Amino acid sequence: MAKKFSDLVERRSPESQARTQALYQKLRAEMPLHELRQAQELSQDALAKALHINQAAVSKMERRTDMYISTLRNYIRAMGGELEIIATFPEGQVRIENFAQHT
């Protein structure tokens, strides 16, 4: 008889659950734009509508390796987030304010 996946997950040890959660958080913290969009359960078409562009433009944006900060900010906001730019040094981190758009 087939077992439910949820039953298998519930039977894992607390250590296994903690490792899985830690891996999930690590992967969630570092991902390309298309994976971030998918994690937010948004299609390219839905995001395109929010940005007032076509789906092909979203696809192209997700493949870019270089873009304007304002473009990235708009992409993130269309998903319900806010973009922060953090510079990391051995001494610590500094939030860069030059690019913050105050609306």
For residue range 30-81, list pLDDT tens digits in order: 789 999 999 899 999 999 999 999 999 999 999 999 999 999 999 999 999 9
**58 domain residue, yes or no:** yes
Domain total for the chain? Answer: 1
**39 domain residue, yes or no:** yes
Task: Report yes or no: 95 and 85 within 8 Å, Cβ to Cβ.
Answer: yes
- Bridge partners, 89 (sequence order): 92
**7 domain residue, yes or no:** no
pLDDT at 38: 94
**103 domain residue, yes or no:** no
Q: In whole angstroms, what is the distance from residue 5 CA to residue 20 CA?
A: 15
Q: CATH number, domain at 34?
A: 1.10.260.40
How far is Cα of residue 55 from the mean position of the Cα atoms in its chain?
18
Domain span including residue 77: 14-96
**3 domain residue, yes or no:** no
pTM flag (> 0.95):
no
Residues 6+ apart with CB under 8 A from 82: 76
